[in-house]
Structure formats: structure tokens, C-alpha cells
Amino acid sequence: MTSSPTPPPLLAVEALESAYGAVQVLWGVSFNVPHGQIVTIIGSNGAGKTTTLNTIIGVMKLRGGRILFKGEDIGTLPPHERVKRHISLVPEGRHLWPRMSAEDNLLMGAYQPSLRRDARRNLTRVYDLFPRLKERRSQLAGTLSGGEQQMCALGRGLMAEPELLMLDEPSLGLAPKLVDEIFAHVEQICKQGVTILLVAQNVSYALQMSETAYLMETGRITLSGPSRSLATNKYVVEAYIGKA
């Protein structure tokens, strides 16, 4: 009996290179994100993780390589065209509009004309996932707690109806209890059918909740495999988990 062929990944990054001016940051970065999984890129601050996400979404210009989303090369598309293809990025630091209400921040995630028709329906879905945001919907985003702001940023990303949701350090600066809560929400989002690409310095958490992991160091992928394998890898444990 022949086995069925492995389906192509939702996202395939091939030999990605990116730079800030004359300073190259990414060097031949390659990885895959299968449908329906949580895939994580771990590594220390400055390794190139954020640059990778920014290049995928189009904020950073591609210098070399390819970005394939559902088999389409999107490497030359502007960011708004990538969002149209249902790729969404929740950036590090949340980047909310502090003088706008929580609900207005969420609605900004549906700025694309094609999303506006279903914005209210999607808003209801976000409030079902984050009931606390519904309670705070009229409150200025700048006055929300850190955990509530991160929920708002996640909710805004979901308003774009992503097939691929990229999360850049969603637990940064949060108390341990809130970290547990945010990662529980991330797992719930994945169970609802959204594929997750997670970037995290919190290596232990990231490896616990993901299926596949890539270690990035100085702009290169230096180790990859099932997350459970990296979680017991001697180098990873000593260099990243042991000091976390």
C-alpha cells in the first residue's frame, strides 16, 4: 500500500536574505510552516527573528530567496497584498493606537475593503475569544493592562481573517500568569483552524506549545526538528532553556 504524498506547506521560505541598508541580517534562511500547526522560531534577541517576520509580511525588502504562500511566490508583493492573501502579523510591542478605544483598534484590523463587510461578525468572534476585551471595548487602548493590550493586538490580527497568523514575542513583558493565559489563547486560535508562526525568546514555552521548531542564530537557522526533540537537545537546554 502506497502512502499518500505529503501536502505542500502553507508557507515555504527558501534561502531568505534580507538587510538593513548595507548590513545583511538574514543569510539563506529556509523553513516550512505546515497547515494547521504552531511552528516556532526560537533564539536570542538580535538573532534575526523579527526581521524574518517583517520580510514575510513585506515591511522589509527581500534581498534574495523566495517566500511561497500556498504555492504562490509573494516575495515582490507589497504588504497590503500579502494581507489580502490572509497573512497577518502581530508585531512585537503590540503597536496599538493608545488614544483610540479598544474596539476601534480591533476594527483597524479590518481596514481592507474586502474585510469591512464582515467586520462586525469577526468582532463578535474576537469578543467570544477575549470576553475581557468586550468589557473594555470603549476604554482607551493606552489605559488597558499589558495583558489586555496583548489580547487587543491578537484580536486585531484576527480581524484580518488570517490563514497564517505570525506572532512576534506575544508574551514579552507579561507576568507569568498572563503568559499562561496568552499562550492558552494562541493554542485556542490554532484549534480554530489558524496556522501559527510564533517567534519567541521564551524558549521553554514556545517548545511546549509548538509542533516544529527552528533555532535561529546570527541570521541563520542552525537547528531544526520536532519541538519535543529541541526541548531535550543538550545545546538548546544549556544555551537557552537553562538560562531562561
Domain that holds residue 146: 90-161
**Is residue 120 in some structural domain?**
yes
pLDDT digits (tens, 9 = 90+) for 111-157: 887 778 888 899 999 999 999 999 999 999 999 998 899 999 999 99
Tell me, yes or no, whether 45 and 97 share the same domain.
no
Between residues 5 and 85, which one has the greater pLDDT?
A: 85
From CA 17, how far away is CA 8, in angstroms rounded?
22
C-alpha distances out from residue 163 to 11, 26, 160, Å:
10, 25, 9
Tell me, yes or no, whether 103 and 50 share the same domain.
no
pLDDT digits (tens, 9 = 90+) for 159-194: 999 999 999 998 888 888 888 888 899 999 999 999
**Is residue 77 in some structural domain?**
yes
Tell me, yes or no, whether 120 and 137 share the same domain.
yes
Residue with cell 517567534: 199
Tell me, yes or no, whether 241 and 167 share the same domain.
yes
Give the pLDDT of residue 242. Answer: 78
CATH classification of the domain holding 69: 3.40.50.300
- Report the chain's mean pLDDT, rounded to a whole number: 92
Give the pLDDT of residue 93. Answer: 77
**Is residue 178 in some structural domain?**
no
Give the pTM: 0.92
Tell me, yes or no, whether 167 and 244 share the same domain.
yes
11-15, 31-35, 91-95: which range is least confident on average? 91-95
Tell me, yes or no, whether 226 and 214 share the same domain.
yes
Between residues 244 and 177, which one has the greater pLDDT?
A: 177
Q: What is the DSSP string of the chain?
A: -PPPPPPPPSEEEEEEEEEETTEEEEEEEEEEE-TT-EEEEE--TTSSHHHHHHHHHTSSPEEEEEEEETTEE-TTS-HHHHHHTTEEEE-TT----TTSBHHHHHHHTT-SHHHHTTHHHHHHHHHHH-HHHHHTTTSBGGGS-HHHHHHHHHHHHHTT--SEEEEESTTTT--HHHHHHHHHHHHHHHHTT-EEEEEES-HHHHHHH-SEEEEEETTEEEEEEEHHHHHT-HHHIIIIITT-
Tell me, yes or no, whether 18 and 34 share the same domain.
yes
Tell me, yes or no, whether 80 and 168 share the same domain.
yes
Tell me, yes or no, whether 106 and 216 share the same domain.
no
**Is residue 23 in some structural domain?**
yes
**Is residue 151 in some structural domain?**
yes
Tell me, yes or no, whether 138 and 19 share the same domain.
no
Q: Is the pLDDT at 91 greater than 60, yes or no?
A: yes
- Count of domains observed in the chain: 2
